[in-house]
Amino acid sequence: MKVSELKHSGLKKWVEEAQALMSPEAVEVCDGSQAEYDRMILITKEAGLATELNPAKKPGCVLYRSDPSDVARVEASTYIASKSKDDAGPTNNWVDPAALKKTMTELYRGCMKGRTMYVIPYSMGPVGSDIAKIGVEISDSPYVVASMHIMSRVGTKVLDVLGTDGFFVPCLHSVGKPLAPGESDNGQWPCAPLDKKYISHFPETREIWSYGSGYGGNALLGKKCLALRIASVLARDEGWLAEHMLILKITNPEGEVKYISGAFPSACGKTNLAMLIPTLPGWKVETVGDDIAWMKFGADGRLYAINPEAGFFGVAPGTNNESNRNAMESIKKNTIYTNVALTEDKDVWWEGIGYDAPGKLIDWHGKEWIQDKNNKNQPPAAHPNSRFAAPARQCPAIAKEWEDPKGVPISAFLFGGRRPKTIPLVNQAKNWIHGVFMGSIVGSEVTAAALDVKAGVIRRDPFAMLPFCGYNMGDYFKHWIKIGQSHDESKLPKIFFVNWFRKNDGGKFIWPGYGENSRVLAWIFDRCDGKGGAMETAIGTVPTPDAIARPNGVSESDMKEILNVDIEGWKAEIADIRKNHYPKFGDKLPKELLVELDAIEKRLNS
């Protein structure tokens, strides 16, 4: 399709303006076909940017190596450019929108010379769903086009739903490396220097402008940019929820089904939980989504969730058949790998894959690498944030409802963090407001090696949304409270806090995790119906020691310890929240959360 054939006058005008500003050599409107995807891969292979993997081992798979300056989300260059700095809040980088647009307009001027401008119409969520939203990304990267094919629903069918005047989120993207006549990338990943990278969000005008990066959430603008930062603003204004949450379908031995959604900071087992293989006999767990959930109220007053994405964009290192067999099965074909290592027989390898490096590798820098297990300082062969992008439909555990345009009814929310002490294995909120309080204090303990801070310090990540909320988080807490106040609480999801990472005094994990977490999910499933052994405590409702079937290696005394409410630890927790966490939000912090804080402190002292 040509730009002149676009039926949406606003879209056509926007594309023409971008073309005039960026001066591409050619313009293509993406149709979403397999032929188009194959052509994007071929273009990058011919440019020396992609390596085709061994078709006998990884059919339809390719490997890319990015520039060392372009390997992850650049949070320092990610902006929420609301009109008021107060609307961005203390957890976001704010820049005046007029000033930012002026700076970026000059960067965009002529930035696509020598390249093709791709117009990518995409739907976040099943095409035509009442919960879905449409975006259109303009990009000069065939890698982005191919990745968007996997991660969203792309093409003509989206334009058909958009019609002549439908709402869409305009997303500008350029790698920021124009080509002179006759110049090519010469096999070098195109991007701008680190100080010229911008990932900018304009909440009031619902726009996303990205420049200088060709990688991940900086460039695939449907993912974190639209699905969380802009969608969180839309959700606030329209009365729904856009959350950094997985979605599970759980079936008990009697055939009853419930859907559970959960938010976890990084390194807390979120992807593993999303694709969990239960060890508990008779129980079944299936995947609806692994990263993001959009939830709107149905006619019956319940929250219905869709996974707005069409693929998995996962971290490769640490993924193996023990930690996540379903993920390993999902990425055996038709997968885009970025910054993992290449074996001599054109397969992939990364640290934590479950076996030693098979001989000489080519590392993510493109250099030879031979594993030296005696050298603890050997740089990794795969970048720690190396990724795979695979179609969700390839997951063996994908639920048949994962593309249901109505969404699935959510019975429970889970929040959790990596906490060696204090937080019990599982704890149910007393009510909605108590649950919002629990979500607002989510955090993980970090080590000195991880963040160059004193071991045991808690990095708070409220609702696991810290880098992804598109507005002031104090107002975000208020939105959650308002959801509870304006709807029948009996129909809202029950809220739970989980912690798979409690350690004993010897520093060993008490709970084995992975598939054994199904035992905790079974208790949560029953609690949604008011069943299951439970005890009221100062911090909420915890299981009785015999309410959760113990896995092998977990003793009765272990269960008592892991479910114990550490009064002194919780007093320290409350003090930290009062002194270091809640004050960040100033007068935007809802008074209801301070009332909840006081109430828990009073219960702990009684």
In the chain, the amino acid numbered 485 is Q
CB atoms inside a 10 Å sphere around CB 400: 9
* Helices 473-485 and 231-238, axial angle in degrees (round to 10): 40
Per the document, the length of the chain is 606
Strands 408-416 and 198-202, how do they pair?
A: unpaired
Cα dist. 62→80, 333, 335 in Å?
34, 9, 7
- Rounded to whole angstroms, how far apart are CA atoms 493 and 453? 36
- What radius of gyration do the chain's Cα atoms show? 24
Collapsing DSSP to helix, strand or coil, 30 comes out as: coil
Residue 480 vs residues 88, 229, 599, 604: alpha-carbon distances, Å:
17, 16, 19, 25
Nearest to 555 by CA among 524, 511, 518, 523: 511
- Measuring CA to CA, how many Å separate 474 from each of 68, 107, 430, 509, 593? 36, 33, 22, 34, 10
> Cα(329)–Cα(314) distance, rounded to whole angstroms?
13
Catalytic residue among 61, 191, 268, 395: 268
DSSP H or E segment with residue 560: helix 556-563
Cβ partners under 8 Å of residue 314, min gap 6? 271, 290, 327, 331, 387, 388, 390
Token pair belonging to 400: 């048949």
Q: Please, what is the end-to-end C-alpha distance for the chain in angstroms?
A: 70
Residue type, 241: L
The answer to whether the beta carbons of residues 540 and 434 sit under 8 Å apart is yes
Question: Does residue 385 contact residue 315 with C-beta atoms inside 8 Å?
Answer: yes
Pairing of strands 284-289, 26-29: unpaired
Establish whether 268 is a catalytic residue.
yes
The tokens for 202 are: 């304009």
Enzyme catalytic residues: 268
